[in-house]
Amino acid sequence: MSATEALKKIYWVPLESSPEAMTKMIHRIGVDKAFAFSDVLGLDPELLAMTPQPVHALIFLFPVTDSFQATRHSEAEASSPSANVWYSKQTIGNACGSMAILHALGNAPGVKIGGELAEFFAKTKDLSPLERSKALETCEAIAEAHGASAAEGQTAAPAADAKVDLHYAAFVRVDSHLYELDGGIPGPIDLGESTDLLTDAAAVIQKRIAALNNGSPLLSVLALGPNQDN
């Protein structure tokens, strides 16, 4: 990236992995209040069973390492995803939380969406992944909702252009295949046939955690499903 491009780059304040803050964000931009994010308490079958269901997507927060990202880059380059996967590149700095939310909602036909978010998805339906990212850069409604939710986290939000060593990815099921979506890698990772999003994605996340192998307490998984407080 040139110095001129760096000066022009847009940054958003990093979003905390908080189901409450993320739920407020999606409600602000048009997701029906019957849907919400919740913490996944664990990845073994007994704890997965406690997750409100049906689950429409999972969001995984993890610490970034060069070797881990290199593996995911290679997997994305080797994938041939369905054209029905809604995927966007990420060109906004520190927006990976909202990018994961958009990837989750853009591939969750069972979630009722209206308002500004429905308009955004309609506008970007036939665009390329890079064109979608540019559309997000100019979407004030999503930017404002992100900013409000970033300010509502349980910890003080860092500066928008702060270097953050944590990253988000979304797991969705499209055309009976499980996908891992991250705007910072070349494209969707096709993880193969899937019969159950929650259990299949949990198995992949367990492998991702084992590959990280750093004992980080900063790992978390959120599920998009029914709102238990509605």
Residue 174's pLDDT is what?
98
Q: How far apart are the first and last CA of the chain?
A: 45
Going from the C-alpha of 21 to that of each of 24, 54, 193, the distances in angstroms are 5, 21, 32
Going from the C-alpha of 213 to that of each of 17, 64, 86, 134, 160, the distances in angstroms are 21, 12, 31, 35, 29
Q: Tell me the percentage of the chain whose pLDDT exceeds 90.
A: 72
Q: Tell me the percentage of the chain whose pLDDT exceeds 70.
A: 89
User: Collapsing DSSP states into helix, strand and coil, what is residue 172?
Assistant: strand
pLDDT single digits (tens) 112-152: 999 999 999 999 999 999 999 999 999 999 999 998 988 77
Q: Give the mean pLDDT of 48-73.
A: 93
**What sign does the CA torsion over 92, 96, 102, 103 have?**
positive
Interatomic CA distance for residues 189 and 180, integer angstroms: 5
Interatomic CA distance for residues 104 and 180, integer angstroms: 10
Region of residue 30 (phi > 0: left; psi between -120 and 50: alpha; otherwise: beta): left
pTM of the predicted structure, to 2 decimals: 0.91
Residue 19's pLDDT is what?
94
**What sign does the CA torsion over 70, 75, 76, 78 have?**
positive
Q: Which segments of the chain are extended strands (E)?
A: 35-39, 57-63, 166-174, 177-181, 189-193, 220-226
> CB of 171 within 8 A of CB of 201?
yes
Tokens describing residue 195: 């019969």
> CB of 100 within 8 A of CB of 221?
no
Going from the C-alpha of 171 to that of each of 8, 59, 140, 161, 223, the distances in angstroms are 31, 6, 26, 26, 10
Residue 163's pLDDT is what?
60
Lowest-confidence region among 15-19, 101-105, 158-162: 158-162
Beta-bridge partners for 39: 222
Interatomic CA distance for residues 96 and 91, integer angstroms: 10
Active site residues: 96, 167
> CB of 196 within 8 A of CB of 223?
no
